[in-house]
């Protein structure tokens, strides 16, 4: 057992991180197994989501996850899984583009009149000050 405070804290942090990492890896394995058992768009999406989470948390490298996702996509294609379009892109495609741009332009024009913008010159921020050096005791 460590004696130094910082070493004790590091040991506690290591235990917490390991539990979190093992949990994420367990989620990945179960999602991939579920996909292999029953290939569908929903299980593929769940497996991809778990892999993306691992990258975001720094548990797996980006290229490793890309390779695994590619392998899953190949299995899905062989199984004849139809991929559903993403929710975000479907929402953007259905919304008319001209209706969303027109109100935004009127709001910005109403907020900033041209006369006030011309009166105020652009000012630069002062550089951040460095903290004072500590005195030796």
Residue 47 lies in a domain: yes
Query: How far is Cα 122 from Cα 62, in angstroms, rounded to an integer?
Result: 42
Residue 36 lies in a domain: yes
Q: What integer pLDDT is reported at residue 62 of this predicted model?
A: 96
Report pLDDT digits (tens) over 35-92. 999 999 999 999 999 999 999 999 999 999 999 999 999 999 999 888 766 665 554 5
Distances (CA, A) of 15 to 3, 11, 12, 19, 29: 17, 6, 5, 6, 21
Domain housing 61: 5-79
Residues 96-123 have a mean pLDDT of 55
Residue 90 lies in a domain: no
Residue 34 lies in a domain: yes
List of residues 6+ apart from 52 with CB closer than 8 A:
65
Residue 128 lies in a domain: no
* pLDDT of 30 over the 70 cut: yes
Domain count for the chain, please give it: 1
Q: What integer pLDDT is reported at residue 114 of this predicted model?
A: 56
Full-model pTM? 0.58
Residue 32 lies in a domain: yes
Query: How far is Cα 133 from Cα 24, in angstroms, rounded to an integer?
Result: 43
Residue 133 lies in a domain: no
Q: What integer pLDDT is reported at residue 81 of this predicted model?
A: 84
Q: Please report, for the domain that includes residue 45, its CATH number.
A: 1.20.58.110
Residue 88 lies in a domain: no
Report pLDDT digits (tens) over 6-18. 999 999 999 999 9
Report pLDDT digits (tens) over 111-123. 555 555 556 566 7
Query: How far is Cα 83 from Cα 64, in angstroms, rounded to an integer?
Result: 22
């Amino acid at each position: 057992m460590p004696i130094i405070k910082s070493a004790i804290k590091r040991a506690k942090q290591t235990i917490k991180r390991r539990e979190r990492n093992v949990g994420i890896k367990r989620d990945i394995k179960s999602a991939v197994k579920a996909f292999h058992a029953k290939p569908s768009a929903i299980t593929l999406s769940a497996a991809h989501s778990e892999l993306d989470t691992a990258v975001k948390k720094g548990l797996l490298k980006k290229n490793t996850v890309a390779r695994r996702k590619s392998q899953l996509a190949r299995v899905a294609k062989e199984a004849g899984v139809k991929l559903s379009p993403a929710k975000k892109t479907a929402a953007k495609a259905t919304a008319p583009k001209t209706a969303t741009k027109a109100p935004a332009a009127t709001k910005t024009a109403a907020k900033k009149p041209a006369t006030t913008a011309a009166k105020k010159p652009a000012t630069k921020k002062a550089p951040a000050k460095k903290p004072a050096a500590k005195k030796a005791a």
